[in-house]
A and B are shown apart, each in its own frame.
Chain A
Amino acid sequence: SQQGEEDPQALSIQEGENATMNCSYKTSINNLQWYRQNSGRGLVHLILIRSNEREKHSGRLRVTLDTSKKSSSLLITASRAADTASYFCATDGDTGFQKLVFGTGTRLLVSP
Chain B
Amino acid sequence: GAGVSQSPRYKVAKRGQDVALRCDPISGHVSLFWYQQALGQGPEFLTYFQNEAQLDKSGLPSDRFFAERPEGSVSTLKIQRTQQEDSAVYLCASSLRGVNNEQFFGPGTRLTVL
Contact = CB atoms under 8 A, between A and B. Distances in A.
Contacts of B102: 33, 45, 48
Contacts of B56: 96, 98-99
B104 interface: yes
B23 to A, nearest CB: 11
- Most B C-beta atoms less than 10 A away, residue of A35, A99, A103: A99
Interface in B40-94: 41-45, 48, 50, 55-56, 59, 91, 93
Nearest to B110: A40
B101 A43 contact: no
Nearest to A86: B42
A1 B36 CA distance: 11
B91 A102 contact: no
Nearest to A102: B42
A41 interface: yes
B101 A31 contact: yes
A100 B43 CA distance: 9
A43 B91 contact: yes
A99 B104 contact: no
Given A100-B35, A100-B93, 14 more contacts: A1-B44, A2-B41, A42-B4, A43-B43, A43-B91, A45-B103, A96-B56, A97-B101, A98-B31, A98-B33, A98-B50, A99-B59, A100-B45, A102-B43
13 contacts: A1-B44, A31-B101, A33-B101, A40-B107, A48-B100, A97-B101, A98-B48, A98-B50, A98-B56, A98-B101, A100-B35, A100-B101, A102-B35
Interface of B: 4, 31, 33, 35, 41-45, 48, 50, 55-56, 59, 91, 93, 95, 100-108
